Amino acid sequence: MSHSRNKLPTEILLRIFELVYHTYDFSFSRVRTLRQGRLVCKDWNKAAQKYYYKDITMDKSVDKLLDTLRNNISVRSHVRKVSFDESFLTVENLYGKLEQLFGFCPGIRELYTEDGRVNEMLLPYLLQEGIQLKNLEMFCMEGALGYDYLTHLIAPFVALKFCKTLKDLDLRMDTFVDNVAQHRQKLLIDQLSSFVSLTHLSILNLKSLAANQIEKILNDCSSTLSSLVIHSFEISPWDKSLDEIKPMKHLKNLRIVETDNFALPTLEYFAHKFTGLEKLIIQSFKYPNENEEDWWNCFIPVCQRLKIFNIETRFSRTAVQQQIEKCAHLAVKSAEGIVNKKLSFSFKSSSERIYSNIVMTKNSSTLAVKLEFYHVKDLIYWMKEYAPNTVEFTGIELMNKHYEKFVVSETDAHMTELMPICLRIYFEIFCKARSLSTFMKSLKTFGRRQQSTSFAFDKIILCGKWNELDEGLVENYNIARLSFKHSVLFEDVLPIISSKMIKLDKLTIDTCSILTNEPYNLKIFLPATRLGSLALIFAPFINATDDRTFLTSNGAPDLDNFLENEALVSAVSPTGCYTLKIETERRSCVIRRQGNKSVAYKRNVRVHGTKNNFLIWIKCLELTEFMVAGDKSRFRSPHKFESFE
């Protein structure tokens, strides 16, 4: 292949142009863009035309578009998708414009509308005998499911007209529509075998049909069908032998939404029907308490043969342990050959205690299990069989509540020096049980395996000098990475953690409220740990909450708060100043920084933090690289690690 920029293949130019277009904000017209492109490469205009005109919009400026198509014959063949804007209804000689468009571009494949009145205009027009869009693959009206009455009335007939080429179809079995509408849908169902190019089918309210009716619909689908979406999937017990179910080996992707129950009869039909399935999405169904053993004996083999799945189950309040252990067993069976196994615990607030969920997601390289519960209790122990290599906890504490508790008022200003003591007492009383229990149980359960595990804690509160933490973590844990984000940490807790983790590939402390023993001095002391990477990111702690009412226009906290490390955040800002002291077993140094850039470098110098020169003191046995960074939104360049050893 020639390396001349004037003879690059169109496919490569197309990719380059698409990247450039999405990277930069082009404010000039399409014509000017093409002229700019030709200055770079003689063949650039071909790729630009193909990219620009594959997707066009019919709106009030349609005359300019039609002029372009009229004067540039080469552009017409690129048009694949046409979207209709509501403003198109205001143009003169509207149907004349449509006639010109379809005459210029007979190769149109997709038609899109997002307005009921546009549907009223377009659908009857498409039914005319003279309209021959021989390549039409899809017409999407208001997202396919938001149909107005007229769309209900005409859309089935439009679909039948283009049945030989359509690749996307919606069937609606709504129980609320009138008998005439049901007959129109029956007309589609009876002619389903005529859709010989169909690749995607969406069926609404399938549970209104009997099992034999569902079987007939699916059997009438073309062998080209690879993707199916079913809303409200529920099947009555199959009254024949399961061996009489005709397998759909060609169907690869299935999505089930708005289903309440996924009972054994439905599952048995599912297992025998969709034998070629590779991808499955089931959105939130109740845990099957009836015929539980039979259900799992059928469900696990189905999941094992899938390459990709996303399954969400709602739990009952009874027999939770057994339900969790069954899901853990499914995860183990599905994890064969998977490199990355993730486990996430997402804590619900007290107002969300109605349901507890588990979501399992699998792709070619990762299996992820997410539990959404009010309290962790023994959930961690019940998931031990799964043996993940990444464990994440989100929303352990309600940071909104704690942040509001410590907003500084005028009467509190004199308490600045006493506040560290008050914070210790407060968190000791109100946050010890949940945070400490979660931290210790997770390390004990998943940190003892031969294979190392990574842990990420979001919105946890770890108070220093907790005897239970020191006594509870009695051994060296095999942990690869440890991360704290949006959390409250007492600096005293870090040496305790270090004594139980003699080696860490990476430690990250991101947007945390770090409570120190001395003002303007932060001690990251890990005296027993050999550390690969250390990432310290200091940003306003308001980011740990969901409340944006306390933010100013530039994103800074509007009110003083005792949980904010204002001096530290200011020190690492583009206009701030701080001193970084690093001590390891092999060397030590002191670096003075302005705007997070080094301005002085010394060895073995005693320093102490001040109001105008914050001290960040890092101590560990070994350190390969480090990063000290401020609020990402305030730095133009991305944060980078710096080598130390």
Predicted pLDDT of residue 63: 92
First CA to last CA distance, the chain: 46
Task: Please give the residue that has the higher pLDDT: either 589 or 237.
Answer: 589
The answer to whether residue 229 scores a pLDDT higher than 70 is yes
Buried/exposed 368-397: b ≥16 CB within 10 Å, e otherwise: bbbbbbeebeebbebbeebbbbbbbbbbbb
In angstroms, rounded to a whole number, what is the distance separating the alpha carbons of residues 579 and 573? 13
Predicted pLDDT of residue 424: 82
Predicted confidence band at 43 (pLDDT cuts at 50, 70, 90)?
A: low
227 by Cβ neighbours in 10 Å (0-12 / 13-18 / 19+) ranks as middle
Task: Give 444-481 pLDDT, tens digit per residue.
Answer: 888 877 788 999 999 999 986 556 666 655 567 889 99
Question: Global pTM?
Answer: 0.80
Predicted pLDDT of residue 391: 94
Mean pLDDT of the chain: 83
Predicted confidence band at 390 (pLDDT cuts at 50, 70, 90)?
A: very high
Residue 485 lies in a domain: yes
Tokens of 581: 């002291």
| Contact in structure between 147 and 141 (CB atoms under 8 Å) | yes
DSSP characters for 479-497? EEEEEEES-EEETTHHHHH
Query: Residue 423 belongs to what domain range?
Result: 394-643
Report the DSSP pairing between strands 597-602 and 200-204: unpaired
Residue 328 lies in a domain: no
| Contact in structure between 514 and 492 (CB atoms under 8 Å) | no
Predicted confidence band at 28 (pLDDT cuts at 50, 70, 90)?
A: very low
The torsion region of residue 44 among left (phi > 0), alpha (psi -120 to 50) and beta comes to alpha
Task: Please give the residue that has the higher pLDDT: either 180 or 408.
Answer: 408
Predicted confidence band at 89 (pLDDT cuts at 50, 70, 90)?
A: very high
| Contact in structure between 259 and 286 (CB atoms under 8 Å) | no
SS3 content of the chain, % helix, strand, coil (to 5): 35, 25, 35
Helices 149-161 and 116-126: angle between axes, nearest 10 degrees = 30
Nearest to 227 by CA among 188, 204, 253: 253
In angstroms, rounded to a whole number, what is the distance separating the alpha carbons of residues 542 and 267? 47
Predicted pLDDT of residue 14: 61
The answer to whether residue 594 scores a pLDDT higher than 90 is no
Predicted pLDDT of residue 2: 43
DSSP characters for 555-567? SSBSS-BTT--HH
In angstroms, rounded to a whole number, what is the distance separating the alpha carbons of residues 450 and 439? 20
Report the DSSP pairing between strands 513-515 and 597-602: unpaired
The answer to whether residue 202 scores a pLDDT higher than 70 is yes
Predicted pLDDT of residue 238: 73
Separate counts of helices (H) and strands (E) for the chain: 20, 26
Average pLDDT over residues 68-87: 91
Predicted confidence band at 242 (pLDDT cuts at 50, 70, 90)?
A: confident
Tally of structural domains, the chain: 1
Amino acid at 394: T
Task: Give 143-177 pLDDT, tens digit per residue.
Answer: 444 445 666 678 889 999 999 999 999 887 764 45
Task: Please give the residue that has the higher pLDDT: either 8 or 504.
Answer: 504
Amino acid at 401: K
Task: Give 311-359 pLDDT, tens digit per residue.
Answer: 998 876 666 778 888 888 999 999 888 889 999 998 876 554 555 788 9
In angstroms, rounded to a whole number, what is the distance separating the alpha carbons of residues 431 and 18? 51
Q: Considering only 8-22, 127-141, 416-430, 570-584, which range has the smallest mean pLDDT?
A: 8-22
Q: Considering only 184-188, 205-209, 283-287, 295-299, which range has the smallest mean pLDDT?
A: 205-209
Query: Phi/psi of residue 156, each to 5°?
Result: -60, -35
Residue 217 lies in a domain: no
The answer to whether residue 8 scores a pLDDT higher than 60 is no
Task: Please give the residue that has the higher pLDDT: either 468 or 279.
Answer: 279
Q: Considering only 30-44, 115-129, 180-194, 476-490, which range has the smallest mean pLDDT?
A: 30-44
In angstroms, rounded to a whole number, what is the distance separating the alpha carbons of residues 541 and 487? 9
In angstroms, rounded to a whole number, what is the distance separating the alpha carbons of residues 281 and 363? 12
Query: Phi/psi of residue 586, each to 5°?
Result: -100, -30
In angstroms, rounded to a whole number, what is the distance separating the alpha carbons of residues 273 and 204? 19
Reported as type and span, the H/E element at residue 426 is helix 419-430
Predicted pLDDT of residue 149: 61
Tokens of 570: 């200011």
Predicted confidence band at 115 (pLDDT cuts at 50, 70, 90)?
A: confident
Residue 615 lies in a domain: yes
Residue 347 lies in a domain: no
In angstroms, rounded to a whole number, what is the distance separating the alpha carbons of residues 178 and 155? 16
Percent of the chain, pLDDT > 90? Answer: 42
Residue 519 lies in a domain: yes
Amino acid at 215: E
Nearest to 539 by CA among 447, 622, 631: 631
Residue 89 lies in a domain: no
The answer to whether residue 563 scores a pLDDT higher than 80 is yes
Task: Please give the residue that has the higher pLDDT: either 151 or 84.
Answer: 84
Residue 58 lies in a domain: no
